[in-house]
Amino acid sequence: MAKLVFADKKSQRDDVTASRQGWKVLIVDDDAEVHTITELALRSLTFLGRPIEFLHAYSGIEAREVLARAPDVSLILLDVVMETDDAGLRFVEHVRGEVGNTKVRIVLRTGQPGQAPEQDVILRYDINDYKAKTELTQQKLYTTVITALRGYQDLIALDSGRQGLRKIIDASATLMQSRSMQMFASGVLTQLSGLLGTTGCGILCTQAEPSETADLTIIAASGKFEPLLSSPSETAAPDVIGRIRSVLASRDTVIADTHTILYLRTPNYRDVVIYVEADRPLEELDRSLLEVFGTNISIGFDNLEMIDRIVQNNEVLERRVIERTRDLHDREARLLTIMEASPIAVAILKLEDEQPIFANSRFYDLLGLTAEQTDGITLAKLFADPADRGRVKSALAGETGLISDLEISLNRPQGDSFWGLLSARRLVVDERDCALVWLYDISQRKEMERELRQFATTDHLTSVANRRHFLEKATLEFERSRRYGHPLTVIMADIDFFKTINDTHGHQVGDRVIRDFARTLQSCLRGCDLVGRLGGEEFAVILPETPAAEALSAAERSRAAIEALEVTLPDGNSLRFTASFGCASRNESDASFDATLARADAALYRSKEGGRNSVTAAD
């Protein structure tokens, strides 16, 4: 925007300032002498050319009445203790809370400074200062008042600035709704007069080129200048037109006591001049707002020239949009028909909230729902494991946005779960990021895989680990123990005289003894300990993170439990049996798990030789 130039006339600001009313200072104190002393101390004080105007109240209740009559009080000198111990603080609550006056400055004065902590009062009640009456000398009182009035003046200036900027924003919004140059120009005059609080008489004009002979084009005029729209401008208001031509030549905004001439240079190099009459000199804030207003609306003149072209092109664009929309709808209908006919569950989910915007009948059947029951169904609720949801979201957000044959456990709304084979691809539908999801139920296959894994790793009679699985796991634990230097112990266990039991009572009883032995052995161990059946009546246990002493205790506990066990025979009688144990902890000389297992087996052999039903530690 062009720079501001002030007319070479004697400013009337001094006269205006002198005519302003004084700063209103309200003294609230139940001691009349305090009123007299305060007024005597401050009566000669002036600030920014304005004197002090004193208002008086002798109680908190009277102070409320005075403030209601004079809401523009600048400063309140307030006693804390009056008709009650907290009358002053209650008045502060009234001012800040009920009245909502946040601008007036409040200085507490008290003859009893211990009545309320200074910090508590200032923080809770927005107090600007807190003084004991005894410390307020004339100089300190003078300084306190000047500081408070300066703060009040700053708050008023800030508020005026905010209101002015709000007027600019509202004016710009109103002006930009205009659809012709004359409407826009008339609106500019109206809004500018309202912003500056002037008479409403003004002219807005342009000129093809800045010269004394080029014709002016008056686009809008208001008030007494309205005849210029139909009369020759040079004869109707020669002084005004001369000032406008001078501004067009200098390209500078001129602010005088009786008028303001705003020069605008639009981005497309159009020269625009706005002449507004004023009935008062403009203040500094008015000038700042004027500059902001000019900058804000200058582009509007260029925008109006573009409106016609936009209107002309809009019809063509609308026709193209209609054709494009119809084509998209046809393609969407074909796509939905294909997905509905798919034998696999298919859905399109919004990535923002993971809710379906389309799902075929197979998808609803897989979840056990109908299309009317899908409220609240999201991708997050389908995943049994939240980690799977995170992996899916990350993959869809990745570079390819593609997921292929991901096996995951999914929930049905009814509470049961199933295994699904999920594939997905990121795509955009109606300008929203979505995911096209294919889902296939693989629960039967996963159950078969589970049964095969159990068959391959579990002893079918006892349900403990079979020999192959036990040795694989034990080898891994052995290597981990050796790598980190952690203790590891192996227990070998064997049912005593099992062949005699089998020969005497038959294989069914023998199987029962083996099952009860395995169950009892597991019940005496920790969840991290692994029991394996190596063959026949021979079992082994791997105990990670366990030194020899603890393993011997576990073996002894198992031996005692088995000794106390009774097996009921088909004829109603009971059978008792015992077992022998050997324990070996990994040592540095063991090159492999087989070496530790062999040492445990040797210890078991010594238990057998020593009379059975005992626990023996390896050498």
pLDDT tens-digit series, residues 185-240: 666 667 666 666 666 688 888 776 656 666 777 777 877 888 777 665 556 678 88
Q: Looking at residue 289, what is its pLDDT?
A: 66
Instruction: Say if residues 493 and 539 touch (Cβ distance below 8 Å).
Output: yes
Instruction: Say if residues 510 and 606 touch (Cβ distance below 8 Å).
Output: no
Where residue 394 falls among pLDDT bands split at 50, 70, 90? confident
Q: What digits encode the pLDDT tens for the residues 506-523?
A: 999 999 999 999 999 999
Q: Mean pLDDT lowest for which of 47-51, 220-224, 263-267, 307-311?
A: 307-311
Q: Looking at residue 43, what is its pLDDT?
A: 84
| Secondary structure of 94-110 in HEC code, one letter for each residue | HHHHHHCCCCCEEEEEE
**pLDDT of 266 over the 80 cut:** no
**pLDDT of 287 over the 80 cut:** no
**pLDDT of 173 over the 70 cut:** no
**pLDDT of 285 over the 70 cut:** no
Q: Looking at residue 425, what is its pLDDT?
A: 92
Q: Looking at residue 13, what is its pLDDT?
A: 40
Domains in the chain, please, with CATH?
A: 13-162 (3.40.50.2300), 176-307 (3.30.450.40), 342-446 (3.30.450.20), 458-617 (3.30.70.270)
Q: Looking at residue 9, what is its pLDDT?
A: 42
User: For the residues 59-70, what does the mean pLDDT come to?
Assistant: 92
CA distance 272 to 217: 10
Instruction: Say if residues 522 and 562 touch (Cβ distance below 8 Å).
Output: no
The C-alpha angle with vertex 399 and arms to 396 and 403, in degrees rounded to 5, equals 40
Strand, coil or helix: 387: helix
What is the distance, to the nearest Å, from the Cα of residue 224 to the centroid of all Cα atoms in its chain? 56
Q: Looking at residue 234, what is its pLDDT?
A: 57
Q: Looking at residue 579, what is its pLDDT?
A: 97
**pLDDT of 378 over the 80 cut:** no
User: For the residues 402-416, what does the mean pLDDT come to?
Assistant: 85
Highest mean pLDDT among 35-49, 102-116, 454-468: 454-468
- Percent of the chain at pLDDT > 90 equals 32
**pLDDT of 459 over the 70 cut:** yes
**pLDDT of 265 over the 90 cut:** no
Q: Looking at residue 302, what is its pLDDT?
A: 63
The C-alpha angle with vertex 373 and arms to 370 and 379, in degrees rounded to 5, equals 100
Q: Looking at residue 6, what is its pLDDT?
A: 47
Q: Looking at residue 161, what is its pLDDT?
A: 58
Residues in contact with 68: Cβ distance below 8 Å, sequence separation at least 6, in sequence order: none
Q: Looking at residue 337, what is its pLDDT?
A: 83
Beta strands in 233-314 (DSSP E): 253-255, 259-265, 271-277
> In the β-sheet with 345-350, what is the strand arrangement from edge to edge?
356-359, 345-350, 432-441, 417-429, 402-411
Mean pLDDT over the full length of the chain: 82
Top-confidence residue, 172 or 262 = 262
Q: What digits encode the pLDDT tens for the residues 111-132?
A: 665 555 456 666 676 788 877 7
94 CB-contact burial (10 Å; exposed 0-12 / middle 13-18 / buried 19+) = middle
Beta strands in 133-223 (DSSP E): 202-207, 216-222
Q: Looking at residue 19, what is its pLDDT?
A: 38
Where residue 554 falls among pLDDT bands split at 50, 70, 90? very high
Where residue 16 falls among pLDDT bands split at 50, 70, 90? very low
**pLDDT of 52 over the 50 cut:** yes
Strand, coil or helix: 432: strand
Q: Mean pLDDT lowest for which of 179-183, 325-329, 439-443?
A: 179-183
Q: Looking at residue 203, what is its pLDDT?
A: 82
Q: Looking at residue 281, what is its pLDDT?
A: 67
User: For the residues 588-601, what does the mean pLDDT come to?
Assistant: 95
Nearest to 101 by CA among 67, 132, 69: 67
CA distance 26 to 91: 13
The conformation of residue 283, written as its DSSP 8-state character, comes to P
The C-alpha angle with vertex 153 and arms to 147 and 155, in degrees rounded to 5, equals 105
Where residue 1 falls among pLDDT bands split at 50, 70, 90? very low
Cβ-based neighbour number of residue 426 at 10 Å? 17
CA distance 187 to 193: 10
